[in-house]
Structure 1
Amino acid sequence: MTQYIIYFNQQWVGDHSEEWFTARGPLARAVVEEAKDAGVYVFAGGLDEDIDTAFSADATSGTLEFTDGPFVETKEFLGGLTVVDVPDVDTAKLWAGKLAEACGWPQEVRRVG
C-alpha cells in the first residue's frame, strides 16, 4: 500500500454563498466516512483560513528561529488535506475524484515518499 496526500489550495475554492458551503460539508464528510469504511483513511482535515496564525520554524542558519506567518509570502496557501493509503495510483485518483466532486473544487494528489 502507498500513501497519497490529496489537497487543495484555499484560492481554488472560489466565492460561494454560505448555503453552498453548508451543503458541501455533509458531502465531504460522507467521502471521509466512505474512506474509513474502505480501510484507506489515514487523516483528513481543513486548515485554519487565518494565515496570520501560521508560523515557521527554520534551522538552516544553524540556529533555530521561529517566525510569525508562512515561510514564504504567497497568495496561495493550503486549505485542507486528506491522506489515503491505497494499493495504486488509480485508486488514489478515485478518492481524489470523490473529494473533488464532494467539495466542488479541484484537488491535487501527490504520493507520500
Structure 2
Amino acid sequence: MTQYLIFFNQQWVGDHEEEWYAGRVEPSTAVVRDMQAQGVLVFAGGLVEELDEAAHADATGGELVVADGPYGRSREWLGGMTIVDVPDDETARYWAGRVAEGCGWPQEVRRFKGGTLRG
C-alpha cells in the first residue's frame, strides 16, 4: 500500500453563503466514513482559517527564523488534507474525486515519496 495526500488550498474553496457550507457537512463526512469503512483513511482534517494563528519557520537564509503568520512568499495556503493508504494511483484518484464531490471544491492528490510512519 502507498500513502497519498489529498489536499486543497483555501483559495480553491470560493465564496459561498453559510447555508452552502452547512450543506457540505453531510456529504463530506459521508466520504470520510466510507474511507474508514474501507480501511484506507489515515487522517482527514481542515485547518484553522485564521492566518494570525499560523506561524512559519524558514532556515533558507542560513539562520532559523520562526515568525507569526503564514509564509510570506506564498499567495495560497493549505486549507485541509486527507491522507489515504491505497494500492495504486487509480484508487487514490477515486478517493480524491469523492472528497472533491463531498466538499464541493477541487482537490489535488499526490503520492508520498516515502517517509517515516509512526506506529
Q: TM-score, normalised by structure 1?
A: 0.92
Can you give the 5+ residue segments of structure 1 that lack an aligned partner in the other structure? none
* CA spacing shift, 1:53–1:73, aligned 2, 3 Å: farther
Q: SS at 1:91's partner residue?
A: helix
Q: CA deviation at 1:51?
A: 1.5
Counterpart of 2:83 in structure 1 is 83
Counterpart of 1:73 in structure 2 is 73
Q: SS at 2:102's partner residue?
A: helix
Instruction: Give, in whole Å, the separation in 2 of the partners of 1:17 and 1:99.
Output: 20
Identity of aligned residues (%): 59
Question: Are 2:21 and 1:32 equivalent residues in the alignment?
Answer: no
Can you give the 5+ residue segments of structure 2 that lack an aligned partner in the other structure? 114-119
Instruction: Give, in whole Å, the separation in 2 of the partners of 1:15 and 1:81.
Output: 19
Q: CA deviation at 1:72?
A: 3.1
Q: CA deviation at 1:17?
A: 1.0
Instruction: Give, in whole Å, the separation in 1 of the partners of 2:20 and 2:58.
Output: 39
Equivalent residues in 2 for 1:1-113, closer than 5 Å: 1-61=1-61, 63-113=63-113
Q: SS at 2:84's partner residue?
A: strand
Q: SS at 1:30's partner residue?
A: helix
Aligned pair count reads 113
